[in-house]
Amino acid sequence: GQNIDQPTEMTATEGAIVQINCTYQTSGFNGLFWYQQHAGEAPTFLSYNVLDGLEEKGRFSSFLSRSKGYSYLLLKELQMKDSASYLCAPLNSNYQLIWGAGTKLIIKP
Amino acid sequence: DGGITQSPKYLFRKEGQNVTLSCEQNLNHDAMYWYRQDPGQGLRLIYYSQIVNDFQKGDIAEGYSVSREKKESFPLTVTSAQKNPTAFYLCASSMVGDYYEQYFGPGTRLTVT
């Protein structure tokens, strides 16, 4: 079957760094997306990894290890507006995104 | 501005009524998708379409129907056969064959009582 595993909830402090892990099992693999979703809103694109390694984009970075079925999203210099759910979504062999339940990130002052 | 529109943002219906949710995109994307999201849950795929006049069932298609008569439009009908229709419905679109990032509309929150 296809499965995504992410922590349900994480808490971090404003200004700190947090790493959100994602492990996945899919039928085939064509890359992995991370999306941010604020409560009551639609998901918005954060990053895409198709090769192993780290992709950096401002305060956000995403890492992929295809052999381990593992990815993480690293958020630096946390701001209150980063309080949201973060969705890990690998692309399977049929080019369908497989969605995890997401990690709810709570930022405290 | 290119994007995806869904209307209305909030929709209330009585049990036993069919209801159609609209989704329009002007991104010239070939593929369109409908998802359902329940509180604390991930996105679950209802239907998707990669080309006009063709669509496939997703993981939870029972009680739903769609049409794709135009590239820009992919309406979803929630029928009275859907046992628990109250949910947040999200429409998305993407290119096909090159890059598969999905772009989302703002969503419609449907409440059936």
pLDDT surpassing 70 at residue A49: yes
pLDDT score recorded for residue A23:
97
pLDDT surpassing 80 at residue B2: no
A47–chain B nearest CA distance, Å? 9
Query: Taking CA atoms, what residue in A is nearest to B56?
Result: A96
pLDDT, mean of residues B33-53: 94
pLDDT surpassing 80 at residue A48: yes
pLDDT score recorded for residue B40:
83
Q: Quick one: pLDDT band at residue B1, thresholds 50, 70, 90?
A: low
B28 Cβ under 8 Å from any chain A Cβ: no
**Could B104 and A43 be called an inter-chain contact, meaning their C-beta atoms sit closer than 8 Å?**
yes
pLDDT score recorded for residue A67:
96
Q: Which residue has the higher pLDDT, A1 or A20?
A: A20
| Contact assessment for residue B75 and residue B21, using Cβ atoms and an 8 Å cutoff | yes
For the stretch A59-100, pLDDT in tens is 999 999 999 999 999 999 999 999 999 999 999 998 889 998
Could you give the CA distance from residue B39 to residue B43 in angstroms, rounded to a whole number?
A: 10
For the stretch B87-97, pLDDT in tens is 999 999 999 87
Neighbours of A15 (CB within 10 A): 11
Q: Which residues of B touch A87 (CB under 8 A)?
A: 42-43
B18–chain A nearest CA distance, Å? 24
pLDDT, mean of residues B5-22: 93
Could you give the CA distance from residue A22 to residue B18 in angstroms, rounded to a whole number?
A: 38
| Contact assessment for residue B59 and residue B77, using Cβ atoms and an 8 Å cutoff | no
**Could A96 and B45 be called an inter-chain contact, meaning their C-beta atoms sit closer than 8 Å?**
yes
B86 Cβ under 8 Å from any chain A Cβ: no
Amino acid at A89: A
Could you give the CA distance from residue A59 to residue B92 in angstroms, rounded to a whole number?
A: 26
Neighbours of A40 (CB within 10 A): 10
In three-state form (DSSP H/G/I as H, E/B as E, the rest C), the secondary structure along A21-60 is EEEEECCCCCCEEEEEECCCCCCEEEEEECCCEEEEECCE
**Could B102 and A97 be called an inter-chain contact, meaning their C-beta atoms sit closer than 8 Å?**
yes
Pairing of strands B103-104, B64-66: unpaired
For the stretch B55-74, pLDDT in tens is 999 999 999 999 999 999 99
Could you give the CA distance from residue A18 to residue A44 in angstroms, rounded to a whole number?
A: 19
B51 Cβ under 8 Å from any chain A Cβ: no
pLDDT, mean of residues A7-34: 96
pLDDT score recorded for residue B34:
98
pLDDT surpassing 80 at residue B106: yes
| Contact assessment for residue B80 and residue B16, using Cβ atoms and an 8 Å cutoff | yes
B45 Cβ under 8 Å from any chain A Cβ: yes
A6–chain B nearest CA distance, Å? 11
Contacts of B86 (CB under 8 A, 6+ apart): B110, B111, B112
